[in-house]
Amino acid sequence: MNASQRVSRETVRRLRKREGLQVRKKQKKKRLLGQSTTALKQAQTPNHVWSYDFVHDQTTDGRTVKYLTVVDEFTHEGLMIYLNRSITSCDVINCLAYLFELYGTPECIKSDNGPEFVATRVQDWLKARDIKVRYIDPGSPWQNGHNESFNAVFRDGCLDRWSFYSVAEARRVVDQWLEEYNEVRPHGAIKQMTPRAFAALHRRPVKQAA
């Protein structure tokens, strides 16, 4: 066989197998999973359990827009919808830090095993603030039902009704939609009250630093 002749990888694999030689098997890559520090819990008070997740959409030019949604599972408030072309673990930390200043710290945060949530940087940051985490089991979105429900309403009531030309335009519309969701739309699970009105009855004011 001269240098110009080549044998495909599959041919070599077939010959090795025929001769009884060891054939290397393709290994399935493992996905990094987050380490939960608490069991699944039903929220009993404001700031008991928060949950967060991502929603994906596109602007009219076909470019991706990613939405980080954060929900208080007791009050049903949409605490934040942060959006950008991409969202990193640092962005997740910055969003949480802002919400902690605004609402106080939750006892537990629940999410799936998305890389932005299981990142060591995020886990260490939450651990340093004594905040427990619960990562739902892979393929079990019902374990994050409150956020799944919020995201479904968000997509149906906002994203599926608007075509955005830019991130700036999306931010304006999404901010307005979130305000209406929290302050106008009654929720059957909280006695037909709006999330903001229900929260006002139960949430303690956040202590401001001196």
Q: pLDDT tens digits, residue range 132-153?
A: 999 988 888 888 889 999 999 9
Give the whole-angstrom CA distance, residue 74 versus residue 46: 6
Give the whole-angstrom CA distance, residue 136 versus residue 112: 5
CA 44 from centre of chain? 22
pTM of the entire predicted model: 0.81
CB 92 within 8 A of CB 121: no
Q: pLDDT tens digits, residue range 90-116?
A: 999 999 999 999 999 999 999 999 999
Taking 90 as the threshold, does the pLDDT of residue 129 lie above it? Answer: yes
- At the topology level, CATH places domain 49-202 in Nucleotidyltransferase; domain 5 (3.30.420)
Pick the more confident residue, 120 or 12: 120
Please, what is the average pLDDT of the chain?
Answer: 89
| Residue 30 one-letter amino acid | K
Would you state the structure tokens that stand for residue 1, as one six-digit string?
A: 């066989």
